[in-house]
Amino acid sequence: MKFLIASLALVAFTSAASISETPVPILRQDQDISPDGSFSSAFETGNGIRAQASGVLKNAGVKDAEVSEIQGSFSYTAEDGTPIQITYVANEAGFQPQGAHLPVAPVDTNTPPTPPPIPAAIQRSLDWIAAHPIKELQN
């Protein structure tokens, strides 16, 4: 459910750039929420915004293993007239959007990815820990 709220907030945020004084009608809105935790939701507005999502609860009843998996999409027209279409999956691996306008990092299969630099404060902590190993307690 959290992912649904986040998805709808994202659609609202992206459409906020084109706020006008003219009311925008909701052309279609559907929701279905089941007792087992699954759901589906969709809407379409008069200015061309569309969104849909469906989700299930995986590993229901398994302590520390329950996770929601949501698949969805949304689309709208950017201010410059570019059609924007996003499809996504949100699950234990996080929010994974795909869209033609999203940047994609180059993949070099011959070189392993370079990790980001360690912040100075964290490096000082790691150095201190290495210089002060924990001595085993004697019984």
- Radius of gyration of the chain from its Cα atoms, rounded to whole angstroms: 23
Give the pairing of strands 39-45 and 50-58. antiparallel
Q: What is the pLDDT of residue 4?
A: 47
Residue for token pair 């002060």: 132
pLDDT class for 67, splitting at 50, 70, 90? confident
CA distances from 74 to 52, 80, 84, 87, 119 (A): 6, 18, 8, 7, 37
**Pairwise pLDDT comparison (106 vs 120), residue with the higher score:** 120
| Residue 114 domain flag | no
Assess contact for 101 and 84: CB atoms under 8 A: yes
Does 110 fall in a domain? no
- Please, are residues 12 and 19 in contact by the beta-carbon 8 Å criterion? no
Answer yes or no: is 129 within a domain. Answer: no
Structural domain total, the chain: 1
For residue 81, give its domain range.
2-103
Residue 137 lies in a domain: no
Question: Which carries the bigger pLDDT value, residue 28 or residue 11?
Answer: 28
